[in-house]
């Protein structure tokens, strides 16, 4: 269980994890962050949308065969 409260930090960690081959951690962070996303208002989503997009892209690109 992670204890990182800051959503941006968790997303950045997920990006790092995906880019370093730890897809399980990245995906778990995304699942947790997606739960937060569903409760946010439009303003909160707009603030974090870029880092969430980058996390999704990092997970997707890490799953592609090289």
DSSP assignment string, 29-48: HHHHHHHHHHH--HHHHHHH
Query: Which residue in this structure is represented by tokens 């090289």?
Result: 66
25-62 pLDDT, tens digit each: 999 999 999 998 898 899 988 888 999 999 999 999 99
pTM of the model: 0.84
Q: Would you place residue 14 in the very low, low, confident or very high pLDDT band (cuts 50, 70, 90)?
A: very high
Q: CB under 8 Å to 49, separation ≥6 — which residues?
A: none
């Amino acid at each position: 269980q992670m204890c990182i409260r800051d959503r941006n930090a968790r997303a950045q960690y997920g990006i790092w994890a995906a880019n370093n081959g730890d897809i399980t951690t990245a995906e778990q962070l995304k699942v947790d962050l997606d739960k937060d996303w569903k409760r946010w208002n439009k303003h909160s989503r707009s603030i974090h949308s870029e880092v969430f997009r980058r996390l999704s892209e990092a997970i997707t690109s890490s799953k592609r065969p090289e």
